[in-house]
Amino acid sequence: MIHAVTMGLGLFGLWLLLSGFLDNTLLLGLGVASCVASVYIAARMEVVDHESVPLQLKFGVFGYLFWLSAEIGKANWAVTKVILSPRMRLNQRIITVPASQTTDVGRVTFANSITLTPGTITVETENQSFLVHALTDEAADLEALADMGTRVSAVENRT
């Protein structure tokens, strides 16, 4: 039941954010009705569970997103320096990164976090590891990727 309520509140919050209708009661009522109908249909399909509503509003999620944004900014700067340097110091390689996450959502979050970071792309997912293409030696830092995996696991275990 808590997952359905969380999904409904999340849908309504998204609807409110995207529509911007705060003063029209008819449109607010229709927005609530559409969110309730969506949650009802999802519940009837039996897809409302801990996997479909994985990230309840916990402070750890926001901390991770802030940290990831900072990492994306640092990686952007590093890739920009490589591209603009007279000698492109590319040392492309494929590395295997172990994934310690226990849920599908955790593994997808980790793989997407790797791909969002400039200079790295998750090429293939295997059972408990990812194949990652790295553009430079700095991007292929397994310790930094392991730190990212640990942070994703910490957020995953809090929810």
Within a domain: 20: yes
CA angle 129, 156, 106 (to 5 degrees): 35
Q: What's the N-to-C CA distance of the chain in angstroms?
A: 16
Selection from 31, 45, 51 nearest residue 101 by Cα: 51
pLDDT digit string (tens) for 103-158? 888 898 899 999 998 889 999 998 889 999 998 888 888 898 999 999 888 887 76
Does residue 54 have a pLDDT over 60?
Answer: no
In this structure, are 154 and 130 located in the same domain?
Answer: yes
Does residue 53 have a pLDDT over 70?
Answer: no
pLDDT digit string (tens) for 93-102? 999 999 988 8
What pLDDT, on a 0 to 100 scale, did the predictor assign at position 57? 45
Within a domain: 150: yes
Helix (H) or strand (E) holding 49: none
What pLDDT, on a 0 to 100 scale, did the predictor assign at position 59? 60
In this structure, are 67 and 23 located in the same domain?
Answer: no
Domain span including residue 149: 59-158
Within a domain: 75: yes
In this structure, are 106 and 75 located in the same domain?
Answer: yes
Does residue 58 have a pLDDT over 80?
Answer: no
Report residue 21: phi and psi, to 5°.
-85, 105
Does residue 17 have a pLDDT over 50?
Answer: yes
Report how many domains make up the chain: 2
pTM, whole model, 2 decimals?
0.67
Within a domain: 51: no
